[in-house]
Amino acid sequence: MKRILIEQGRVIDPANSIDRTGPVYVADGKILALFEKPDGFEADSVIDASGQIVCPGFIDISTRLRQPGQSHKATFQTETKAAAAGGITTLILQPDTRPVIDTPAITELVKELAENSNYRQILPIGALTRNLEGQELSSMLALQEAGCIAVGNGGKPISNLLVLRRAMEYAASHDLLLIYRPNEQSLSNEGCAHEGAFSTRYGLPGIPETAETIALSQCLELAELTGCRVHFGQISCRRSVIKIQQAQKYGLSVSADIAAHQLHLTENDMKPFDSVYHVLPPLRSEQDKLFLRKALMQGTIGTLCSDHQPHDLDAKLGAFPETEPGISALETLLPLMLKLVDEKLITLSQGIAALTQTPAKVLRLESGTLTPGKSADICIFDPGRRWQVDRSTWYSKGINTPYWGEQLTGRVSATLQSGKIIYQGVFHD
């Protein structure tokens, strides 16, 4: 297999506390060595990374590629290109596909779609309950054996707490991780925007913070009762952060992630009735944003994700409440992380850790590091490169991003997945 030399780059590997400039040697799909040339190494190809950052490929813990079921919105073909162009080497798929990922057969289908798109590392989250209806348990063990990395609710509410308790007990029995987006349906109701000044002014049905915090509190109680490992997805508000902090102090094994846009956008940034800002959980208040930022800075919440949700044009064409929620976000994940570094909130190493080491630890993946011997998942990016978000730079089929037309800073120049170059400036196939 191909031997690759990545030279002159600034190598940042938070898991090994590395931050220095030097060569990276890749062979047989694995990291062979850092900085010191192994005996007899001769590169088949050389990547010049001078002026660039070389770091582990990103692990995106919440994505939707819309297949199976909604290929008019996006496909594995289009979205894996977007992922590669965004430096992402492992995609974690939410289970809310059509049909839902609740059987080994659908899991197999997802794996097949991944193989056909030449992007191997797509790991589905299995549905916690059948059809995500919150009533009957899914065959979690079979899902795990078929390749599901965890089980989750895909943002769908589980209103029956007995079902949630049983599901968590069952998951705990098999040491399965629960990825849970807290959402109390009776409180979020038909809401489409944060219950705040913006929704009040524009008469939009609001989603209160309590829709998230009550579901989160219940799940925390059950985590203690059942011993289930829980990771909370796409936390959006101040009081969720406080509750997670308290639980961690108390000794519960809980972690959480934040969608990158939540650290930059609030209800104040929403243009009235512009459906591109329709996202769930909704863009919250300035205070919520500051708390989320603090949580990331202090490490209470250690993982950043894209929460990628590509849409077709029609899905976003209508009166705001009638449009579909979600942002196409794979390609803005790196620039949005770098913006936090630029704003001096976190260090570059912290930012990279939030996209590599921390999610790897949560998911118990071997990747997320440049340790020799590990799979060569590598992202090489130019942190200062400015680029415009438009058709000429964008790979996702969904153009539903509030950053459309804007200039962002930080662009991937090459992505390696298991030692294979899957992106290098452009796609060649």
Handedness of CA 182, 188, 193, 196 (dihedral sign): negative
Toward another protein, which CB reaches closer, 73 or 339?
73
Q: Minimum Å distance from CB 266 to another protein? A: 14
Toward another protein, which CB reaches closer, 318 or 384?
318
Pick the binder of another protein from 79, 102, 195, 257 (CB under 8 A).
195
Q: Minimum Å distance from CB 95 to another protein? A: 25
Toward another protein, which CB reaches closer, 206 or 310?
206
Handedness of CA 267, 391, 334, 279 (dihedral sign): positive
Q: Residue 170's closest CA among 121, 216, 222?
A: 222
Pick the binder of another protein from 28, 136, 145, 322 (CB under 8 A).
322
Toward another protein, which CB reaches closer, 107 or 240?
240
Q: For the window 279-318, what string marks contact with another protein as x by the rule CB under 8 A? A: -----------------------------------x--xx
Tokens (6 digits) for 154: 């895909």
# chain residues binding another protein, by CB under 8 A: 24
Rg of the chain over Cα atoms, rounded to whole angstroms, equals 21
Site for another protein in 197-226 (CB under 8 A): 197, 199-206, 208
Q: Minimum Å distance from CB 198 to another protein? A: 9
Report the phi/psi class of residue 17: left, alpha or beta, with left for phi > 0 and alpha for psi in -120 to 50.
left
Beta bridge partners of 125: 150
Which residue type occupies 312? D
406 near another protein, rule: CB under 8 A: no
Q: Is 342 a catalytic residue?
A: no
The 10 Å Cβ neighbour count of residue 392 is: 7
SS3 call for 144: helix
251 near another protein, rule: CB under 8 A: no
Tokens (6 digits) for 300: 């209470």
Report the phi/psi class of residue 49: left, alpha or beta, with left for phi > 0 and alpha for psi in -120 to 50.
alpha
What Å distances lie between residue 96 and 60, 149, 150, 273, CA to CA?
A: 16, 15, 14, 26
161 near another protein, rule: CB under 8 A: no
Toward another protein, which CB reaches closer, 86 or 196?
196
398 near another protein, rule: CB under 8 A: no
Q: Minimum Å distance from CB 190 to another protein? A: 11
190 near another protein, rule: CB under 8 A: no
Pick the binder of another protein from 36, 44, 136, 274 (CB under 8 A).
274
Which residue type occupies 98? R
69 near another protein, rule: CB under 8 A: no
Pick the binder of another protein from 18, 99, 320, 404 (CB under 8 A).
320
Toward another protein, which CB reaches closer, 192 or 230?
192
Toward another protein, which CB reaches closer, 85 or 193?
193
Q: Minimum Å distance from CB 205 to another protein? A: 8
Task: Please state the separation of Cα 14 from the chain's center in Å.
Answer: 18
Handedness of CA 18, 45, 89, 148 (dihedral sign): negative
Q: Which of 96, 257, 307, 377 is catalytic?
A: 307
Q: Minimum Å distance from CB 323 to another protein? A: 7
268 near another protein, rule: CB under 8 A: no
Contact indicator for 353, 297 with CB cutoff of 8 Å: no
Rounded Cα gap, residues 110 and 119, in angstroms: 11
Q: Near another protein by CB under 8 A, which window of 51-59, 74-82, 127-135, 270-278? A: 270-278
Contact indicator for 197, 223 with CB cutoff of 8 Å: no
SS3 call for 20: strand
Under DSSP, the state recorded for 256 is E
Looking at the annotation, which residues are catalytic?
307
| Residues near another protein, by CB under 8 A | 195-197, 199-206, 208, 271-274, 314, 317-323
